[in-house]
Amino acid sequence: MRLEDLFLETLKDIFFAERQILKGLPKLAKAAADPKLREAFMHHREETEGQVDRLRQVFEVLGKRAQGKTCEAINGLLEEGEELLELAPQPSPVRDAGLIATAQAIEHYEIARYGALVAWAKALGNDQIARLLQETLEEEKKTNTLLTQMSATINRTALAA
Ligand code: FE
Ligand code: FE
Ligand code: FE
């Protein structure tokens, strides 16, 4: 297997993952009690649409068909989110704290994948692809930071509840 092949396999993995996330974020938003948290999830859902478009562009640059490959990691993380909603069936600040942790696990997975893809695109000398994926990487990092900031207030509220 060449680095090009590893890159393409991982691109298919994150393409599948982003589309699962696109379906998962409205569920997280619907479950959120805090309106600002709900808004943050919906904003990131919109951003995710752009990220899927960028991935399609990357496939196009490579001359490959945009194709996903089942990512058990993202399926597992989303399943953990469903479990949380079973454990905490009512909206509450504690459930919000759990939703943030779920969302951050997802962002961390994305950051890990895009981090590797950007590094490989650079190693392969494809600056155009590296730039496209770097843009998404920055969005994922920003989202993660925002969630950390929001958790400060929500965790305090959860403790007092
Ligand atoms: Fe994403
Ligand atoms: Fe994966
Ligand atoms: Fe994300």
**pLDDT, tens digit (0-9, with 9 covering 90-100), for 134-154:** 999 999 999 999 999 999 999
Report how far ligand 1's centroid is from the alpha carbon of 143 (Å).
Answer: 9
Q: Please give the average per-residue pLDDT across 17-46, as a whole number.
A: 98
Under the banding of pLDDT at 50, 70 and 90, the label for residue 110 is: very high
C-alpha of residue 17 to centroid of ligand 2, in Å: 7
pLDDT tops 90 at residue 158: yes
End-to-end CA distance of the chain: 54
Considering the chain, what is the average pLDDT of its residues?
98
Expressed in angstroms and rounded, the spacing between residue 104 Cα and the centre of ligand 1 is 11
Contact 133, 61 (CB under 8 A): no
Cα separations in angstroms, 45 against 92, 115, 119:
22, 20, 25
Nearest ligand by distance to the CA of 71: 2
pLDDT of residue 141: 98
Q: Ligand nearest 143 Cα, by number? A: 3
The pocket of ion ligand 3, defined by CB under 5 A, consists of 110, 140
Mean pLDDT of 23-42: 98
Per-residue confidence (pLDDT) for residue 161, from 0 to 100 = 79
Mean pLDDT, range 57-72, rounded to an integer: 98
Centroid of ligand 2 to alpha carbon of 93 (angstroms): 30
**What separation in Å is there between the alpha carbon of 44 and the centre of ligand 3?**
7
Alpha helices in the chain (DSSP H): 3-31, 35-62, 72-87, 93-123, 127-160
Measured in angstroms, how far is the CA atom of residue 98 from the centroid of ligand 3?
17
pLDDT classification of 56: cutoffs 50, 70, 90: very high
Confidence grade of residue 78 (pLDDT, cut at 50, 70, 90): very high
pTM over 0.95: yes
Predicted pLDDT of residue 127: 98
The domain over range 3-160 is classified in CATH as 1.20.140.10 = no
